[in-house]
Structure 1
């Protein structure tokens, strides 16, 4: 069963906070922005005013590669949200840049038979909302190229 992604009619959009605004709007420029601690150098998510590792407060959003792998997933078959029709894949994606940074997201453009833990994926962004309320949701799809190195 192949799966060509079709944008849903509706999504539940986030309400960005001061800490999360960069995460939700970085996609406007094609960048996945993740909080990074300038004291210990680690990335962390979700965005917060301080690092959970070292408690440093010199933190801010920085671009990451946007590549990762599926760490866990479920296939939702329940029609919870009118206009967002099942089935769809909800996954935890582990970022290549920092393996313990994981995002809960949708993985698209993959058949339900082909989704698996370890599947290499890459980010793309879907714009939702108007004006000041616009956000760019980071979604993932199977990686089309392999990383250099």
Structure 2
């Protein structure tokens, strides 16, 4: 039985991010007024309050800050266990992501990761992380 993946909510604040994943880019919101980086994206800069938003393309590398191995309950479209990490990107923001091709007993804090992209269909490409 094939089950569809859970699809993210794509709105005005995050559309640039999902357009980036479709293009093979990991995009981080950047305030055009003060240059602060922000993830997750939002409508106003948390540093200066400006509404003038842009983005930068991240290098796509980072370090595991923390992680969890999800074993239960089942997740639509996923095979268990799922390794989920909190990743400190080299640009200085933190992002949650699925780590693939790393055994649940191999993942560790401080492990270097690089982003990759999993094309689900014409409308959705998800960022995934692999050992660097």
**TM surpasses 0.5:** yes
Identify the structure with bigger relative contact order (alpha carbons < 8 Å, sequence gap 6+): 1
Map of 1:124 onto structure 2: 116
The 8 Å contact of residues 124 and 138 in structure 1, kept in 2 or not, is answered as yes
TM-score, length-scaled by structure 2 = 0.90
Map of 1:146 onto structure 2: none
What's the CA shift string for 1:52-98, capped at 9, x where partnerless? 11112221122111111111100011132244221110111111011
The 8 Å contact of residues 77 and 86 in structure 1, kept in 2 or not, is answered as yes
Gaps of 5+ in 1: 1-7, 144-149
The 8 Å contact of residues 36 and 44 in structure 1, kept in 2 or not, is answered as yes
Return the alpha-carbon distance in structure 2 between the equivalents of residues 74 and 41 of structure 1: 32
Map of 1:40 onto structure 2: 34
Gaps of 5+ in 2: none
Segments ≥4 residues shifted beyond 3 Å: none
- Compared with structure 1, are the counterparts of its residues 44 and 76 closer, same or farther at alpha carbon in structure 2 (3 Å cutoff)? same
1:141 aligns with 2:125: no
1:97 aligns with 2:86: no
1:21 aligns with 2:4: no
Return the alpha-carbon distance in structure 1 between the equivalents of residues 76 and 7 of structure 2: 14
How does 1:44-59 map onto structure 2 within 5 Å?
Answer: 44-59=38-53
- Aligned pair count reads 131
